[in-house]
Structure 1
Amino acid sequence: MTPAPPTPSFDADFSGDLVADLDFALSLADGADAVSMARFDAPDLRVSTKPDSSHVTEADLATERALRARIEADRPRDGIFGEEYGTTGATERQWIIDPIDGTANYLRGIPMWATLIALAIDGVPRVGVVSQPALGRRWWGATGLGAWTRTPDGRERRLHVSSVDDVAASSVSFQSIGQWRDAGREAELENLTRAVWRDRGYGDAWPFMLLAEGRLELVAEFGVKEYDIAAHVPIIREAGGRVTSFDGADDLAARSVLATNGVLHDSFLELLHRP
């Protein structure tokens, strides 16, 4: 009997050595950046529509193919779960990739998009890389190895979430009003925006990295898939933050995500589920 795949979660306990895996993930991001940037803002970029009515560009497909080819060649025993080409191989060690997170921005020539690369071991994201080449930014982290960023001038620094401990002094990102409306959470969004100091819909991968940098205290999204958030989890957790589903569950497949600076996580959960 074939064993069931591990249940994806946010659990952080792990004692393995991830140095080689993180180095490999960073090299994957280098290759992905070269492919995606070659077609960014191209006047003849080919764009099509998927069955769910979302857009996909030739760059999404080419970037994922390049990532898959490298993983299959260098890590043939590992599985892959990608947005564009689905799941192949084993699930005990699985690379979870979103070739271009923010395709709508990419196809309009807006530089707010990123390639997301994660390694999940037994269903838990342990390595994460977020690369935003159009802005010259990259963030990465792995369980036990900390969370880091590199700025356009080549400097690297370790990431730490903020120490803000008062909801009224917090700055938050909520993705979009339409997303919360579609999830039936408009009242909760209204409560949130009334309670915090500042609210903005920064969108896609960037606000999660702003959280890890200590510039925001909460990011929440609905309708997300594993490849939308897996890369963020190790980075945020290693920066000292906390990641759960919107309902507080330890579940990567819950189709919602609530990421905070940790100290305010329970307070935000209480606020967002207040009758």
Structure 2
Amino acid sequence: MMNVELYDRPGPLERRRIRLWTLVLAIPALAGVIWVVTTLREQGILDSEAWSILTDSEVIVSLLTGLLATLKVAGVTVVLSLVVGLLLALGRMSELRWLSLPTRVWVEALRGLPEILLVFLIYLGVPAVTGLNISTFWALVVGLVLYQSASMSEAFRAGFLALPKGQKEAAVALGVRGFKTLRFILLPQVIRQILPNLVSEMVRVTKASSLGFVIGYTELLLSGEQAIEYLGGQYAVPIFAGVALLYVIVCLLLSWVSRILSERLR
């Protein structure tokens, strides 16, 4: 069996040079870590008493409540994004130019806007124009759905374009047309292809839900901030570390699910 390498193996001189540069870069990096640890220790941030706050029942309940609020936003956003994204993909692939052209402009415009701007637009702009009061939950969800649906529409469109054209022609030949072709033949295959990507989008939406902090929605990040305001600034590092750990755990679990789905659908 022949081994093919796409790079040149470093020679003795190059290996010595690599080890030298590794040492040169490792020394200041290690010095920086020592300085940070020393500074934190002098300020008492690394004391066990400060970190024991993460075992306090009230803090745990507050952070878990914020985590549930985060997952609620992420779940509703993903479901709505799937529905709207599918409709946008079908509209963009339509043979009717009066439908495909505006849909394309809509998708490209939303993909070029930052999510926080969309959230502010819903939370502040819509009440200013219509006089309707929008809760922080729905302002956050709608803002995220506007952005995520544009991304999901591209995923759906790529899935449809990847299918062999003969399947639709065969369905027409068998007398299956219109909505039935989409529902029973094309869409199941597309969902099967993009399902791992959907889980990855769930990870992104979970992290993007932290934007609720800026409009006062009590998600995980704001729950941590409120706990710090109540307990004192000396607990900021431990509590934010706990918040970060919860985000990492959720994202790792979702990534694990995505990997399992990819293996099973392969």
Q: More helix per residue: 1 or 2?
A: 2
TM-score (norm 1): 0.26
Whose relative contact order is higher, 1 or 2, with alpha carbons under 8 Å and at least 6 apart?
Answer: 2
More strand by share: 1
Structure number with bigger Rg: 2
